[in-house]
Structure 1
């Protein structure tokens, strides 16, 4: 396995971790603050989340030999940020355990895997393209905020495509980081926290209103807004995702790490697309080494805790946006091409794509779920055909009994 490890695997894994943390770590901080957690408990949350993502990604990637990457539940964190007011931290841990139990039971039962098989490939690809679209767009929007930085990364991307395709994204990351450092775009280095922290467990207490008001919604948004897009990401990349095993592993990880702050783990979508795309490796059979590398980096970030995360927070936003957008260009293009290839499902695929891009949200459930729902409904309606009578009528009694006459002679 190590003999197959390439620099492109390490680069894709590092970029996935960079994008994963910087895109949503601020929401985690808001959720922690809403609970009134101590600094020690906050550090424990970050350690538990990093180790949980790292270990589950390693287990699933090496077990199934495919780029299965996991993540914390970002919409779940947003839900917690607004739903944990007047809830004690011990009651919150009880709700996390309840969510972990539901995730585990879902994986063991296998019903979610059977449901995922019913999604047409065109809708799956359209959903993935819609989810990733804004990340691709962010690279170009960042030209307004830091033109020189993003332009240098764009030139590195083109140079990589021409001369070192396998290491394109590594070149983009290095050029961007060096340019930002030379321009002084990084934040105050004095904000780096180099201290080490130990995990701190919080004993749970179980409150039925909190379990139903926090734990159940946390499970629902994690399944709809995270696990379904994560499954679709792997399918669109040409893999058969281990749905039931993945849900079971992430559910057990949630049960084990909930007392330390691991509120919910699930399949990753955006970061998984980085590891499952051609930038990670031309050979799909060895792309799992990219997600395994990301797993190792997640563990290191978890152990490093506040040091690494504070480094992420001082990085210029244009650097992160540029790296993420350029890394996902190929995946977005391939997904759109596959989604719109067949004329039969084109309308449903377009509706799926545009709903996902819109970012709509109802009842705390994000656009990915509604895009999938709308796409499946339209696909079902457009493919429904009225039952028609047979074109050839049955023979009557008279014609059925009429003797067969020989053909008239010719010539």
Structure 2
């Protein structure tokens, strides 16, 4: 005799599976990008592990709070484009304490975007080609890593490339996650070959980082991190949920993610935001037949983020003990689709094409003036180019 699962219990199980998939895709597909960004701004191995842990905790708790409170499948994620922006900064320009101070300011700006309607309206007026051009520019150096790594670590680099390509051919949705797992596998193989198992840390720990505030770090990190997080994550995240018929509580979402970003910064986290890419996984039909109950998928995703966060110390230990450039290469593969979309968004409008190109090139070249990094100057260059050349031609 077969036993049928009651409808509600079956729907709950389906929601839990959707939540697990949402977490796996969000965590596994981009943790290497986060680590690359934190290491680039001076984080130690312990501080990077603490950053990954606090980001997982903040993402998990924020997702559960918002989805339970509003009964909407609101998924929160860490800012992958923001981490890529950090990874594109010149090394050694800022200490990690200064970077943390900039993270706090960025979190405060997110809070303000929820409290001050005029700031939200100002954000929506940032030209899409300029914002996408800045994102594309900061992604280009990182997306080159999978190919330049072939010269220094040929077997692991070619291995993760092959896994990525086969994944695109067989299971496209999980190609990035598979390449990340392949990088972890090569890292474990390297650790076993060099007998460095004793260097691995298993128990996660939070490490307090005292922030230092400098106007150079605020201009180089806070403002670009805020802009790229809002333009590439929060605003698209609202649109994705809207396409499924859900209304996102903007003020509450910005307050929760802004406070989460600012408080998590003291332990090494850079920023959290509304999920854009993985939002559909918890809001679509795979999350359950009843749209009004799909919030359970998002809530379960938050629980799984807490579970995955418990592995943060082990993940960072494997990454730091792996061949140099391996996880940067994996991070580059994870961002290829984002780079392609950013380039398309930057060049889609002929009126803004020249200024978008200037933005891409300045950001990719990581121009640094007066101690301020390339992402900020890319925004300035793009806007100036438009007002000097394109606007007058249009008139």
TM-score, structure 1 as length reference: 0.66
Query: Aligned-pair distance for 1:141?
Result: 0.8
> 1:151-195, CA deviations, whole angstroms, 9 ceiling, x for partnerless residues?
122222222222222222233234444345445587622112345
- Partner secondary structure for residue 29 of structure 2: helix
253, 256, 271: which is aligned to 1:266? 271
Matched, 1:360 2:367: yes
**Match of residue 328 from structure 2:** 321
> 1:291-345, CA deviations, whole angstroms, 9 ceiling, x for partnerless residues?
9898666644655564443233223344312322222222212321232233222
C-alpha contact (below 8 Å) 1:221/1:365 kept by paired residues = yes
Distance 1:96 1:124, change over 3 A: closer
Structure 2 CA distance, aligned partners of 1:341 and 1:99?
A: 29
**Match of residue 226 from structure 1:** 225
Structure 1 CA distance, aligned partners of 2:337 and 2:34?
A: 19
When Rg is computed on C-alpha atoms for both structures, the one with the higher figure is 1
> 1:10-62, CA deviations, whole angstroms, 9 ceiling, x for partnerless residues?
134212123212442474545x9xxxxxx9x9987775455335434665688
C-alpha contact (below 8 Å) 2:73/2:298 kept by paired residues = no
- Partner secondary structure for residue 214 of structure 1: coil
- Partner secondary structure for residue 69 of structure 1: strand
Report the count of equivalent residues: 355
1:392-411 → structure 2 map (5 Å cutoff):
none
**Match of residue 385 from structure 2:** 378
**Match of residue 14 from structure 1:** 28
176, 197, 200: which is aligned to 1:192? 200
- Partner secondary structure for residue 350 of structure 2: coil
Distance 1:291 1:324, change over 3 A: farther
**Match of residue 292 from structure 2:** none
**Match of residue 403 from structure 1:** none
TM-score, structure 2 as length reference: 0.68
Matched, 1:162 2:169: yes
39, 55, 58: which is aligned to 1:52? 58
298, 319, 329: which is aligned to 1:312? 319
1:141-290 → structure 2 map (5 Å cutoff):
141-182=148-189, 188-195=196-203, 197=205, 214=213, 221-234=220-233, 240=239, 245-253=252-260, 261-262=266-267, 265-267=270-272, 275=277
- Partner secondary structure for residue 345 of structure 1: helix
Matched, 1:116 2:115: no
Structure 2 CA distance, aligned partners of 1:128 and 1:284?
A: 31
**Match of residue 397 from structure 1:** none
C-alpha contact (below 8 Å) 1:185/1:315 kept by paired residues = no
**Match of residue 77 from structure 2:** 69
Gaps of 5+ in 2: 1-14, 241-247, 288-294
**Match of residue 395 from structure 1:** none
Query: Aligned-pair distance for 1:130?
Result: 1.4
C-alpha contact (below 8 Å) 2:26/2:77 kept by paired residues = no
- Partner secondary structure for residue 271 of structure 2: strand
**Match of residue 38 from structure 2:** 24
123, 130, 135: which is aligned to 2:137? 130
Distance 1:114 1:27, change over 3 A: same
Moved more, 1-10 or 337-346: 1-10
> 1:358-388, CA deviations, whole angstroms, 9 ceiling, x for partnerless residues?
1123344432222122212222333434999
